[in-house]
Amino acid sequence: MRILVVEDEIKIAQFIKRGLKEEGYAVDIAADGEQGDFFLSANDYDLIILDLMLPKIDGLTLCRKLRKEGKRTPIIMLTAKDTVKDKVKGLDSGADDYLSKPFAFEELLARIRVLLRKKDSQVVTQLKVNDLNMDLLTQKVTRAGRDIDLTVKEYALLEYLMRNAGNIVTRTMISEHVWDINFDTMTNVIDVYINYLRNKIDSGFEDKMIHTVRGKGYLLKK
């Protein structure tokens, strides 16, 4: 899952990014509303964390603009203003949720999980491809009943492959959805993590699931 944080307070933005990356999310940061608007025009995001008071384009204006353009990406609005009137303004502008500063990071995570589940008309709590299973609530992964221990980044990569099972995913697609916008696509990190997954998912099984499609990308075979 890829999240955009539009926040002009650098310490807060970096705090949110660090915490979300530890949870396996890919995170981009925009320092003002204009930059946030540019990122949103160039990339697809699963959720937006949007500060209310921003330079150049404020959060309310940006939120209204996105909704007017037909973008339905879930938005959590952050602000130091916590009056009922301010909250109503934020929600009326098109935000899906509203969180007042200071906030507990655990609460932000819980609200993110709720909104991401609501994105689908049917809540998906498990992914299954052949004998490979992923529980999205407990983050437990098994193959043929055997537990598979994954790091946070390995889990994020496998989730993306499973959600796109049967389809080729390119290195660019993986870097956009599993890593952040500053990821160096010239490195071999993706190949390294694919190999990590192969060793954990396919090792000991005759039927190999993770395949390299030469010149195109990777495929999790159904």
105 and 205 housed in the same domain: no
- Among 100, 118, 136, which residue terminates a domain? 118
pLDDT over threshold 50, residue 121: no
Dihedrals phi, psi of 45, to nearest 5 degrees: -125, 150
84 and 49 housed in the same domain: yes
How many distinct structural domains can be found in the chain? 2
Confidence of residue 177 (pLDDT cuts 50, 70, 90): confident
25 and 113 housed in the same domain: yes
Indicate which CATH number applies to the domain containing 185: 1.10.10.10
What tokens appear for 58 in the block? 């404020």
Confidence of residue 136 (pLDDT cuts 50, 70, 90): confident
Query: How confident is the model over 8-30, as a mean pLDDT?
Result: 92
8 and 113 housed in the same domain: yes
Indicate which CATH number applies to the domain containing 88: 3.40.50.2300
- Among 118, 141, 173, which residue terminates a domain? 118
pLDDT over threshold 80, residue 99: yes
150 and 185 housed in the same domain: yes
153 and 181 housed in the same domain: yes
- Among 89, 118, 147, which residue terminates a domain? 118
148 and 112 housed in the same domain: no
Helix count (H) and strand count (E) of the chain? Answer: 8, 12
98 and 137 housed in the same domain: no
110 and 10 housed in the same domain: yes
Tell me the pLDDT tens digit for each residue of 23-38: 888 899 999 999 999 9
- pLDDT score, position 215: 87
71 and 157 housed in the same domain: no
pLDDT over threshold 80, residue 119: no
Please, what's the b/e burial string for 53-74 (b: 16 or more CB within 10 A of its CB; e: otherwise)?
ebeebbbbebbebbeeeebebb
Q: Can you list the alpha helix ranges (DSSP code H) found in the chain?
A: 10-22, 33-42, 59-68, 84-92, 105-118, 152-163, 171-178, 189-201
Query: How confident is the model over 16-22, as a mean pLDDT?
Result: 92
- pLDDT score, position 180: 73
Q: What is the pTM of this model?
A: 0.69
Range of the domain at 192: 126-220
Tell me the pLDDT tens digit for each residue of 35-45: 999 999 988 89
Query: How confident is the model over 46-73, as a mean pLDDT?
Result: 93
Average pLDDT, the chain: 89
pLDDT over threshold 60, residue 122: no
Query: How confident is the model over 96-101, as a mean pLDDT?
Result: 90
103 and 11 housed in the same domain: yes
Q: Which helix (H) or strand (E) holds 28?
A: strand 26-30
98 and 133 housed in the same domain: no
Query: How confident is the model over 72-101, as a mean pLDDT?
Result: 83
Percent of the residues in the chain that have a pLDDT greater than 70, as a whole number: 94
